[in-house]
Structure formats: C-alpha cells, structure tokens
Structure 1
C-alpha cells in the first residue's frame, strides 16, 4: 500500500531539526558574518572614541578632508571584498535551507513510492509485482523532485552545462504562464539547466539503516533517508579562496544535506 505522508510544513521543520547536517552547516556559515559584524562594530567604536577626544581648539587645523580621495581608493578594495564575502555567505546560508528542502522532497517522493521490504502476505506481494498498489521503489522520481527543488538555489546567468542536461522546458513554461512569471522564463531555464546538470547534484536515497528493525515487520516501511550533494556557485572573485575550479573557469563549493523522513 502507498505510504501516508505527513503535512509539509511542520514535517519539514521537524526533519531539519533532526538533520545531522543542517545546524552544523548554518553555524559554520554564521561565523564569518558574526566576525565581520564584530570587527565593523569595533572599528566604529574606536573611531567614535578618537573623534570624541579631539580638543575643540584644534578643529580648525584638521586636514583629513584633503586626503578624502586617497582614503576612498584605499578603502574601496577591502570594502568590496567585505561586500562579496557577506553576499556569498548569505547566499550560501539561504541555499543551505534549499538543499535540505531538496533532500526532504526527495525523501518524501521516495516514501510515496516505497514498498515494504516484507509484504504482509503472498497476495500483497503479487499485487506489488503487478504494479497494482502504487509502490515501485522508483528512486529516479526522488531525484527529479530534488532537482526541481534546487532550481531556486541555482544561478540564473547562463552557467554552461558540464554533464547531461535534460531541462523540463515544457513543465516550466506551463508553470510560468499561470503564475505570471513568463517574463522571467529565460532566467528560470538557466537555473533549471544548472539544477538538472548531472555534475551539480548527487542523490543517495533509500531506507535508513538505523531503522532496519522496522523493516523486519511485515507490511512496514522503514524511514527513508535522502542525502543530496549540491555544488553551490561561488562568486568569481572569491572562487580561488573558497571554491573548486571547473574546467570552464567557474567555481563551486559542495555541501551535503541529509534528511530522514520518519
């Protein structure tokens, strides 16, 4: 029989909290953001203190404004690096949630098509073999569900495909019309090209080995575990420092999301 799935909202939050990869990744990505905030706050406090200690009698001799252009040139480069780091970090924090949601949708799809390892009886086993019960153990559908979820986590500026790409153009065109985003269809197709690139996404889905005893009961479906490995796009300026270079010159950084659907 087809498994009964829980509602999406609370079930996804519960799956995130149980995930062994979500909170550690989010904490790691939060470190540079917090460090930059603390550093910027410290510099601001020091500047205010220095400004407050200047005697009023010497204000007419201040010549700092003369070097404004030189200060701008010196500050511009580190400021741009700071902005790039913040943008990349915030982008990867957002994508961390999306990649875990992709793992959740993969596990949900696999659960919907999973057959019990031990059928209830011979009649149920025969019906399963004949495809009458709707369970097929088709993990390919789980991969497709994960890739659809990863479209939102993909760049929209025409990154070329490295592996096999089968973009669901008809499906996306049918979705973009009623939702009023037809003008954004080219960007959506670029994102789909990245998400459906075989080199950018890897999926490992199946019964969670920690719950194999549940599968030993007749008619019971053990919890499904899905692991999604996704290649996050890295800004070119930061690529050599934190990313891996592709043959075409673009950079990426891999992250893994693991979700178990009970």
Structure 2
C-alpha cells in the first residue's frame, strides 16, 4: 500500500537506539496562489511535469506557432503575468515584442523555491539529489519450500531485497528508481556497464515461486506499481546473479557513494499450486 507523507522539512535519517528512523517528507507544490503578490517578481521554481510555453506577439496581440517545452525537473524563473492570465518565463525585457507565456493560472505544475539535497548514505538510508530516499529494510537469502516438498532441498533459493522508497520526484516505480539511481552487485565484483544484479520483473512473470505466494505477493507487486510524487511504499525485489551465494552486496550510486550490506539467511514455507 502506498502512503502519502506530509509537508515538513525534508528527509532526515535519525540514528536512535541503534536503528534508523526515516522521517521522509517533502516540499509540496507552490505555497502561493497565482494571484499572490509573491509572483510580481521572477521566482525560481522546478517543473513537476513537462510544461509548454507559447510565444506571444505583443504587437499583433496573439500567440504565434512557436513553442518552448520545459521538461520535468528543470529549474526556471517565472512571474505572474496578469496581462496574459498566465506565467511569463524570465528573460524577456520590458517593452519586448515577444514573450514566452504559459497560459494557465495553476501552480500544480511547479515546485516553489526548489532545493537540492546532499546525496549519499546515512546508515542504510540513501538520499538522492532530489530528496527521494531509499531505505534498505533487509537483504535475505531465502530458501523457499513449497507445501508439497518433502525433501530437505528447497524448491528455489532467491536473494530478496526489501526496502522503502519515498518519492520526491516524478511518478516512477521502485524497480525503475533503483535501476536509475543505484548499482547493486556482490561486494568485490567490478562495476560493469550493466548492473551485475538485476531485478525480477513481476509484470513479465517468470519461474519464481516466492512472489506468487499470498504472504509475499503484495510487496513484490509494489516493486512495479507506479509511485506518485509525495508518496512512499514498502516493496520487495528479487536480485538475481550467478553469485547467489554472496555474503555481502554493495549498493553504490554513480558518484561512488556506497555501502556494503550483509546477507542474512532464512527459510520461507509457501503454498503455491503448480
């Protein structure tokens, strides 16, 4: 289940009594309405979706065919343009013939006074530049025994990562976010162009039993379910690689902020029909 989190100071991981308590919160969309005097001067905002500014011809008093698309996550300066009933992109001098205008009075497309955050690890919680956080809850090598297995040999052995993603960016899935932000590989393995460990794609099916059991299916489903901005979710993924017996796994971003996480061993008894 996805949870929305409240607006306060963003993402601090607090070390208390030997455990990490994640207080993950974000700055919401703009605090000031379009009609506020706050916007009479240019203010920095970050786009929360792709926004298209239209070119306005002040001499002919009409929009031209020219357009300028500003992609998600871009910092720009805008002001309230009452004369256009929309937003004017900074850079146009007073008296100019042409203006870049976003003809809307909505503030839902912007993040007011955006901040960047220090990326890196604090304990087992990683914070990205945009303030999204990923907390490693556990990393387990799971021996899976189906109900009809009467031997001491598991039906499968899988390496399961369970974590919490708090999303301060555009809509994504936990699986996509991990692939876009972290390299995950057995400790001591050289980093390759492609990740040595990848994630089980629930939507594509596969031969794994554990994600299909009712006890575990929700967390695995969450890994490939869309997570909106301002929400967090707990999820699980299966990491697969030839080195399933690794005792430690390294989590590293692309600036080499990394931690090594020990793998614990456990057993799961499931009830999955063939």
- With normalisation by structure 2, the TM-score equals 0.23
Q: Which has the larger radius of gyration?
A: 1
